[in-house]
Amino acid sequence: MTQTPAVAVRGLHVRFGDVEAVAGVDLTAEAGQATALLGRNGAGKSTTMKVLAGVVPPTAGEVTVAGHDAATDALGVKRSVGYCPDVGGLVPRATPWEHLQLSARLRRMPDWEERGRDLLERFELGDVAHRVVGGFSHGMSRRLSVVLAALHEPAVLLLDEPFDGVDPLGVDATLEVVADARARGACVLLSTHLRDLALEACGEAVVLRGGNRVAAMRAGELTGEAYRALLD
Amino acid sequence: MRSSTEAWLGAARDTGHLVAFRARTVRRRRASAFGLAVALVLTLTFAVAPNGLDLEALGSPAVEHALASVRGNLGAAFAGFLLLAISSAMGSGGGRELLSRSEAAVHPISPLTEHLGALLLAPVNLAWLVQVWGLLAVTALVAPSGGLAGAQVVVLAWVLAATALGQAAGWAVEGVRRSPHGVLVVRSVGGAVAVVLAALHLAGLLGPLVRSLPTTWIAETAQTPDWPLVVVVLLALTVVAVVAGARPAAWALGLPPREELRVQSGVHEARHAPEPRWGSPDRALLRRLDRASVWRSVGMRRGLMVLGLGPGLVALVAGLEWSSVMVLPGLTASGAALLFGVNAWCLDGKGMVWRETLPVSAAAVFDVRALVVAECMAVVSGVTVVLALLRNGLPPLVVGVAVASCWLVVVVQVLAIVMTWSVRSPYGVDLSSPRATPAPHAAMAGYAGRLSLVTTLTALLFTGLSAVPWAWVPAVAALPFLAWSTRRLVRARRRWLVGDERARVVLTVAAV
């Protein structure tokens, strides 16, 4: 018996007016695995992630996330997914704790405080748990976005540029979150420009170029030369 | 070292570059040009049309009394405009900005350029626009036909001078506010001024004091052949105020914005999730977050307080009667909507993407946001009505019904309009600075003009209805307005519920 992939994307197209941000991406990602999504700026990585998070509906193609069709059941997708967006992702005048509280309550998590506190401590945000995030540095915001994505132990964890501007301790904490998610059987998709970190965190790699998938392979096979060749 | 003249010329050139940059980003050029033409036609109409009315020919003692009162208080109206210019500049942290703080940070923009930009943007303000139209209309009403042109030139010169003076005062107050304990000083002085004004009013001295101000001389001389002298004086005053305003501007902009920094690093201890007696806990939590986003913003909090108390205090002190008060709820509700409601989703900023990943229905998100916008409008316009109630006492039944109906209609009307705009034309903006606006300046000017026009016309209708002998008439007249606005609101909600439309709004507001 074959297991249904946690994320299955076939022929995904996303158009914004005249611009085709994603032009026929195919992608599968299994539960218990971490897959790196690599590519240059404008390759369609972040848009694909937004579709998988239920934020942007697909223009065409089939997208299934944890068994939910992204086109018809966006709410089901949102319940199953934890998403760290590529930019910002925080309500400027709310505190980290208020972000966590809202996310937990809407996902019907009865005892979330302890896990919330633990995650904030792991990402060194415990001291600023009740401070408005508008004054946070870029790195602090990125770390909090990862915490929010991981809080409810989602079946599918989507991390879009989680290492961007983050210090080494934050990088370690993020790698730990990815490892934990894999260990409990979640599917992790991690989009980044940083090949080395992608290889450290993920077992599989998918390379996008111009809105298309150009390669899918074991992460270990993606050498620096091979990666550069795929980007050109 | 650059000379002062070179600095001013350089600042003027930079302001031109910034204005040109902003002009190039105007999305709907035809609509903007049309809006500008409408504003000019309206201005011309207010400046000329009332002069053709021969109210004395009506022979009504009430009308004659009102006309005499308008004539006697024209100088006070001029003084009121100066007060408005000062409070607007104070409320907006010194004055509006041509480029947002984050956008401007990488450019060598001098405080002088900021000062000139703020002066240029002062008219992009509902209260400013309405007051100018009011001054022009009142002057046209009382000026002799032969002296109308001269009187209106004086009005325009006064508008320039008062705006420049207000700007200079606004920068000075912002400078004080940014100094150690400055917020406390500004609040204390503001409170003391309010107490003194109230005491003068209760002692019956405020009216004579206001009438003895030089603005009365300006208003009276404007209607005589000596008006060119007034224009020259006012233009000279404008130049002095513009030049003098550069100093407090440089001072204020050189200091850290303490209040904003304090709010941005503010600590808010954890609270239990709300458990409402009725309604969904999810919605209650969303509502709490949205309310916090409003009240934790320096600009919005300050704006709501000014809008709530300002017009109400004017009604209280100036002794406005119910017929005049009727127009205020619509204008204050519009002012509240212009703080963020015209681009309601900007409250979430870049967090809009994260909000959209939460497993909650899009309908609930829309309903809660609309409710929070409506709350802000209802509260500030409600304060105005309550203060008018304190001044005038309980009105006759028909007037009371007309005021209540008008209030309800304008709040629902403005809510429906701004939620439609929010879904149709979202903008990615950073509202962390009180100098920021929720939409580009051209759009804000259009929004301000349209909201003031719609709500003023509605108020005029209900003012007319308050004169009929049947109390049920205003209530019945409100029904079609409410039905139409509700339909519009439902249509905006339906549009928001479409996934593609919502994604467009989310990505635009979050600027990703």
Interface contact A85-B353, CB threshold 8 A: yes
The full length of chain B comes to: 512
Report yes or no: A131 at the B interface, CB cutoff 8 Å: yes
- In one letter, which amino acid is B299? G
Q: Point out the residue among A90, A102, A132 whose CB comes nearest to the CB of B358.
A: A102
Q: Point out the residue among A53, A79, A90 whose CB comes nearest to the CB of B350.
A: A90
Q: How many CB atoms lie within 10 A of CB B394?
A: 8
Q: According to the model, what pLDDT value does residue B270 have?
A: 81
**Does the pLDDT value for residue B13 go beyond 60?**
yes
Interface contact B269-A101, CB threshold 8 A: no
Mean pLDDT of all residues in chain A? 90
Interface contact A131-B273, CB threshold 8 A: no
Distance between CA atoms of B396 and B387, rounded to whole angstroms?
17
Q: Point out the residue among B270, B354, B504 whose CB comes nearest to the CB of A85.
A: B354
List CB contacts (< 8 A) between A85 and chain B. Answer: 353-354, 357, 510, 512
Interface confidence (ipTM) of the complex: 0.89
Residue B9's Cα: distance from chain center in Å? 31
Across the beta sheet with A19-29, the strand order is: A19-29, A7-16, A60-65, A68-69
Interface contact B267-A74, CB threshold 8 A: no
Closest CA to B370 of B418, B410, B331: B418
> HEC states along B329-379?
HHHHHHHHHHHCHHHHHHHHHHHHHHHHCCCCCHHHHHHHHHHHHHHHHHH
Report yes or no: A102 at the B interface, CB cutoff 8 Å: yes
What does the angle CA A159 – CA A183 – CA A25 come to, to the nearest 5 degrees?
40
List CB contacts (< 8 A) between B286 and chain A. Answer: 102
Across the A:B interface, residue pairs with CB atoms under 8 Å apart total: 127
What does the angle CA B474 – CA B478 – CA B479 come to, to the nearest 5 degrees?
130
Query: What confidence category does residue B1 fall into, taking pLDDT thresholds of 50, 70 and 90?
Result: low
**Does the pLDDT value for residue A134 go beyond 60?**
yes
The nearest CA of chain B is from the CA of A225 a distance in Å of 31
Instruction: Kindly report, residue by residue over B428-477, the tens digit of the pLDDT.
Output: 988 888 888 899 888 888 898 889 889 989 999 999 998 888 989 999 99
**Does the pLDDT value for residue B256 go beyond 90?**
no
Share of chain B above pLDDT 70, in %: 99
Residues of B with CB under 8 A from a CB of A: 261, 263-270, 273, 281-282, 285-286, 289, 292-293, 296-297, 348-351, 353-361, 431-432, 499-500, 503-504, 506-507, 510-512
Q: Point out the residue among B296, B359, B510 whose CB comes nearest to the CB of A79.
A: B359
Name the DSSP class of A15: E
Report yes or no: A62 at the B interface, CB cutoff 8 Å: no
Distance between CA atoms of B353 and B291, rounded to whole angstroms?
19
Distance between CA atoms of B85 and B173, rounded to whole angstroms?
13
Closest CA to B126 of B356, B307, B362, B366: B307
Distance between CA atoms of B283 and A225, rounded to whole angstroms?
52
Q: According to the model, what pLDDT value does residue B72 have?
A: 82
Interface contact B265-A83, CB threshold 8 A: no
Instruction: Kindly report, residue by residue over B38-84, the tens digit of the pLDDT.
Output: 888 989 999 998 887 777 777 777 777 778 878 888 888 899 899 98
The nearest CA of chain B is from the CA of A119 a distance in Å of 16
List CB contacts (< 8 A) between A134 and chain B. Answer: 263-264, 432
Identify the residue whose tokens are 């149709």: B424
In our burial notation (b when 16+ CB lie closer than 10 A, e otherwise), range B17-48 reads ebbeebeeeeeeeeebeebeeebeebbeebbe
List CB contacts (< 8 A) between A55 and chain B. Answer: 353, 356-357, 503, 506
Report yes or no: A126 at the B interface, CB cutoff 8 Å: no
Distance between CA atoms of B497 and A42, rounded to whole angstroms?
28
Closest CA to B451 of B137, B130, B138: B130
The pTM of the full predicted model, rounded to 2 decimals, is: 0.86
Report yes or no: A57 at the B interface, CB cutoff 8 Å: yes
Q: Which of A54-68, A200-214, B92-106, B194-208 has the highest mean pLDDT?
A: A54-68
Mean pLDDT of all residues in chain B? 89
- E strands, chain A, are 7-16, 19-29, 34-39, 60-65, 68-69, 81-84, 156-160, 187-191, 204-209, 212-218
Interface contact B512-A87, CB threshold 8 A: yes
The nearest CA of chain A is from the CA of B282 a distance in Å of 6
**Does the pLDDT value for residue A2 go beyond 80?**
no
List CB contacts (< 8 A) between A86 and chain B. Answer: 512
Least confident interval from A98-112, A216-230, B352-366: A216-230
Distance between CA atoms of B241 and B62, rounded to whole angstroms?
41
Helix (H, G, I), strand (E, B), or coil: what is residue A147?
helix
Q: According to the model, what pLDDT value does residue A1 have?
A: 46
